[in-house]
Structure 1
Amino acid sequence: MSEDKGSSNIPHFDGKHYAHWSEVMENFLRAKGYWGVVERGLGEPIDGTMLSDNQQALLDEARLHDHKDSLKRKYGGNEKVKKSLCNMLRREFEMLEMTNKETISEYFAKVTQVANKLRSNGEAMTDTKIVQKILRTLTDKYTYIVVSIEESNDIETMTVDELQGSLTMHE
């Protein structure tokens, strides 16, 4: 095994956010050149067949594919659970409001965290939606800055990072 392949950190599945972990794992396996084995799989050898090291490695990867499918059925396949989780996250996103004790960075981190959870569960969460949410829910001390930003920028094309930069500059 080459140093490159042996030194990588394999993404750990903690039993939560299967969809996100699955995407990370697929990218990891594609980058290492193993994804083809996952997609194709391999048949089990006839009892008593001697396998080369390479054949054994391929067989082990095929077995990993079977385990992956098992994880998908257990954690990723239940659409009702995903729908319920998305509903809960949508409500959490809608209820977010900046407090007087929070900094811009802290509030952005909080909003971004919920938005990323929604994205990883299949929700369409655009920068425009996040920007509009943040502008609506900042504390009163930012009202004049919000008006200024809305007047001088196209909110529909503004990124979350651009908004954070503008607000941090005024903070």
Structure 2
Amino acid sequence: MLAMVQRVSEAHVEVDGQTTGRIGRGLLVLLCAERGDSEAEGERLLAKLLKLRVFSDEGGKMNRSVQDVGGGLLIVSQFTLAADTSGGNRPSFGAAAAPDDGRRLYDAFVQRARESHPEVHTGEFAAMMQVHLVNDGPVTIPMRIAPAAT
């Protein structure tokens, strides 16, 4: 499972001109399920995400998590994170989970996030969205949780 995480001072997502999710200080999480992913990868990614120390402490060091600062999560599905550009100029998205699997894994991730964190907002799966954000820092962290070896 892939995520691009951005520390934001504010962010919101719109679908057809309507805001579907909005946060102040927190993390914008662009989320992509890949072929072979299961809910277990989502669980591990969420656990790491909630503890990721990217917010400043009193000394200015990135030493606090989104939970520590009471920030929000804005979770947006983004299959294009699985893009493969090695074969030319047009990206291939073959590594992304099939749409039904992607939706199931995205929904499970969001549900678990809502059980684990007090402020969680979302985009709309498979919709054309406009994401507005003020990246704070800027701080952008790529995250990948690979399926566990069997």
Same fold, judged at TM 0.5 (above):
no
Structure with more of its chain in helix, by fraction: 1
Q: What is the TM-score of this pair, normalised by structure 2?
A: 0.25
Q: What is the TM-score of this pair, normalised by structure 1?
A: 0.23
Structure with more of its chain in strand, by fraction: 2
Structure showing greater relative contact order (alpha-carbon pairs closer than 8 Å, 6 or more residues apart) = 2
